Structure 1
Amino acid sequence: MSGSSLELTISATMTLRSILALSFTAEQIHKKYGIDPAPALARNGINPDQIDANAVISQADELAVLSDLYIDLRHDPLAAIKLGSTFGLSAYGAFAMMLMACSTVYDGIQLGVKYQELSYLFSRLDFELEGETASLVLHPYHVPEELHRFIIDRDVAGTFQFLNMMQALLGQTSKPEKICIPYPEPFEAQYYRDSFGCPVEFGTEVARFVIPKELLNKPLPSANPTAQALHQQQCDELLKQRRQPENNNLCSRVEKYLNMFRDCYPSITECAETFSTSERSFRRQLKEEGTTFQQLLDNVRSAKACHLLENTEDSVEKIAGKLGYTEAAAFIRAFKKWHEKTPAQYRKTL
């Protein structure tokens, strides 16, 4: 390791992920809160009895399940912190084995950033080294507002737990010098400081773990170049499998993701970032599947508009607001384009 400034960032790609973390989260929810996760899983097409170590899930599908599960956890604002802190190394499979076989902590962090698609984050992971400061940085993806804190807490607690487990291999017990969390300080802030055992700053732009720089050069006692190369090959194969065209029907995954939002929808840039790809690649793959982001967004809004017109007495203005339109006139124009009639005319045909 040399130089005074370094930033490692993953190249943009688009993959599925293992279902193990979701399965583990569901089990912990049942264990800690007595809530049966089966109905939420079933509503999203997942049979708990058919989950195995090789099963994969899209980020959009996983978010949809977490959104369903969160409904029963809203009474506990600390639920995600408690759940994230129970993640074990076994949930990471070959990814964790590869990191543990690295020569030093620094080498492990480099590979962790490079292969972060095999983690369970809903954030983009960077590593920054500037002067005497070393930081792991999480850039949260765009998720529905009601899930924002829950997802950030899950990622922060899971990352903290992972760092603790890696330190245990070194016989270390040091804590981060500081943790930053990107939402306003909550009433339960002291719980975070007590749980993490270090200063916690809220209201930052990104989540950040400031770690002791001297930790980076520590040799890993489980270092094994042969094993590391083998596990890295396994990780490469996993990524290759998950990038196969038959596993990447982006159109349906994006549509399911957009369906989770109300009032305010993500932009194409935010959506591309959530799916771990560049906007250019995102547009290209949708085009290859015969659609565009705007068409998918229109499909979602159109279906929701029809549902609201058919099943509620909401005014056209109120429905427009629920679909993210700032003006009813814009919604009326869009609806007429979709259905060749205005919302009022559509309602009269019911």
Structure 2
Amino acid sequence: MQSSVSPLQPCLHPIYARLLCAALCQHGFSEAQVMEGTGLDWAHLHSDNRRLSFAQVQRLVRRAVQLTECPWLGLETGCATQVYAHGPVGYAAVACADLRGVLQVVERFSVLRLSSLRLTGHQVGERYCLSADEDFDLGDVREYILSTLAGTFLRLLEMVCGPLPSGAVQFDFPFAEPAWSARYRELLGGAVTFSADCYRVSLPLAWLERPSLSADASAARLALRDCEHLLLGAEQGGDWTSRVQLRLLACEERYPTLEQLAEEFHLSERTLIRRLRDEGTTYQQLLDEVRQELACWLLLNTPLSVERVAERLGYQDSSNFSRTFRRWLGMTPNAWRSGSAEVLRP
């Protein structure tokens, strides 16, 4: 577990949050009910393809489980998610020639969709295991995230291999067996254990040579090219929006001006403005978003006073921070802290 990774850093493609929102709407909840206490905006969530931070995902998942009173909601969501929702990674996986190639795609490129988990494949006896290492503590949404991952992986295997023998795929979860464990065994095929040292899924080693039912060599080449391009971009710091976001998240109380930031990136101020504009944003917009998300995190997860939160965000006047926060979320910091703490109570 890498404690240096911040839960405020972008980590999850927004399509998964949208799928969760769609499921909640199917349960009969309104957009306003779904968003209450999360600090998220429905229209923005469904129109912006920038990744969500773990903190944002955590608030949305807490709200979803509270509304549905369904603690195995992640499992149901994962089992209902179509493979193609995973974008280029999903396309590349299902187009591979055999299951070995599919698993290699999952291991190498899953960080493009969820970067808070690192998947590693290895052989154990006569089985192939895929384990997940958490970049930071997933806390009270660990079950949701890992059960979603399990359901998603099972759907992928079924698309590539066809119907699977009951119990042939083993799922191990690193949390205590819940009272609803029968639901896991029903949806995942029976071979499920709890209180493991990490999340792990395993299958017979002999399966790796199975030809994929959806193999398409031409489509695989195109999708793998797209995945490699995206991975290279991520390793180089991502797009300019992501680079600016990460730089601002690393700040403590004092934020650089646009001119100072451009100098750090060895760009002219005009060039940085243009590159952000080409990605549909501005420096001021990103600064506001980083400050807003950090404010929400500090108010919900720390005992810091509003005055100290304002200082942490670079505001010399706490009243100015309160006015800005009201513009962001339509209420004062104290009202949001108390209201969200109640709405999102685990």
**TM-score category by the smaller chain?**
0.5 to 0.7
Structure 2 partner of 1:214 = 206
Long gaps (5+) in structure 2: 252-286, 288-293, 317-346
Structure 2 partner of 1:307 = 306
Of the structure 1 ranges 56-65 and 177-186, higher mean CA displacement relative to structure 2 is found in: 56-65
| 1:181-214 Cα shifts (integer Å, max 9, x gaps) | 1101111222211221222111001111121211
Q: CA deviation at 1:106?
A: 0.3
Matched, 1:25 2:20: yes
Of the structure 1 ranges 107-116 and 60-69, higher mean CA displacement relative to structure 2 is found in: 60-69
Alpha-carbon contact 2:117-2:135 (below 8 Å) kept: yes
Q: CA deviation at 1:103?
A: 1.7
Q: Summarize the Cα distance change of 1:29–1:201 in structure 2 as closer, same or farther, 3 Å threshold.
A: same
Q: CA deviation at 1:77?
A: 1.8
Please identify runs of 4+ aligned residues in structure 1 that moved more than 6 A. Answer: none
RMSD over aligned Cα atoms: 3.8
Structure 2 partner of 1:231 = 223
Matched, 1:151 2:150: no
Q: Summarize the Cα distance change of 1:155–1:140 in structure 2 as closer, same or farther, 3 Å threshold.
A: farther
Alpha-carbon contact 2:61-2:141 (below 8 Å) kept: yes
Report the 3-state secondary structure (helix = DSSP H, G, I; strand = E; otherwise coil) of the residue aligned with 2:128: strand
Q: Summarize the Cα distance change of 1:123–1:309 in structure 2 as closer, same or farther, 3 Å threshold.
A: closer
Report the 3-state secondary structure (helix = DSSP H, G, I; strand = E; otherwise coil) of the residue aligned with 2:154: helix
Q: Summarize the Cα distance change of 1:239–1:37 in structure 2 as closer, same or farther, 3 Å threshold.
A: farther
Which amino acid in the other structure matches residue 250 of structure 1? L
| 1:226-253 Cα shifts (integer Å, max 9, x gaps) | 3211111222334456612322312556
Aligned residues: 257
| 1:67-100 Cα shifts (integer Å, max 9, x gaps) | 4533534722222222221111121122111112
TM-score normalised by L of structure 2: 0.62
Which amino acid in the other structure matches residue 224 of structure 1? D
Q: CA deviation at 1:147?
A: 2.0
Q: CA deviation at 1:164?
A: 2.5
Report the 3-state secondary structure (helix = DSSP H, G, I; strand = E; otherwise coil) of the residue aligned with 2:305: helix
Structure 1 partner of 2:246 = 250
Alignment of 1:136-175 (within 5 A): 136-143=130-137, 145-168=139-162, 172=164, 175=167
Matched, 1:199 2:159: no
| 1:23-74 Cα shifts (integer Å, max 9, x gaps) | 111101221x32234555485443337725x722233364244245335347
Q: Summarize the Cα distance change of 1:47–1:74 in structure 2 as closer, same or farther, 3 Å threshold.
A: closer
Alignment of 1:251-266 (within 5 A): none
Alpha-carbon contact 1:178-1:210 (below 8 Å) kept: yes
Alpha-carbon contact 1:178-1:211 (below 8 Å) kept: yes
Return the match for 2:91 from 87, 90, 97.
97
Of the structure 1 ranges 112-121 and 98-107, higher mean CA displacement relative to structure 2 is found in: 112-121
Alpha-carbon contact 2:161-2:213 (below 8 Å) kept: no
Q: Summarize the Cα distance change of 1:136–1:78 in structure 2 as closer, same or farther, 3 Å threshold.
A: same
Q: CA deviation at 1:113?
A: 0.8
The alignment-based identity, stated in percent, is 16
Partner Cα separation in structure 2 for residue 192 and residue 142 of structure 1: 25
Report the 3-state secondary structure (helix = DSSP H, G, I; strand = E; otherwise coil) of the residue aligned with 1:137: strand
Alpha-carbon contact 1:73-1:79 (below 8 Å) kept: no
Structure 2 partner of 1:80 = 74
Structure 2 partner of 1:127 = 121
Report the 3-state secondary structure (helix = DSSP H, G, I; strand = E; otherwise coil) of the residue aligned with 2:304: helix
Long gaps (5+) in structure 1: 1-11, 256-288, 290-295, 311-334, 340-350
Q: CA deviation at 1:127?
A: 1.0
TM-score normalised by L of structure 1: 0.61
Partner Cα separation in structure 2 for residue 254 and residue 161 of structure 1: 38
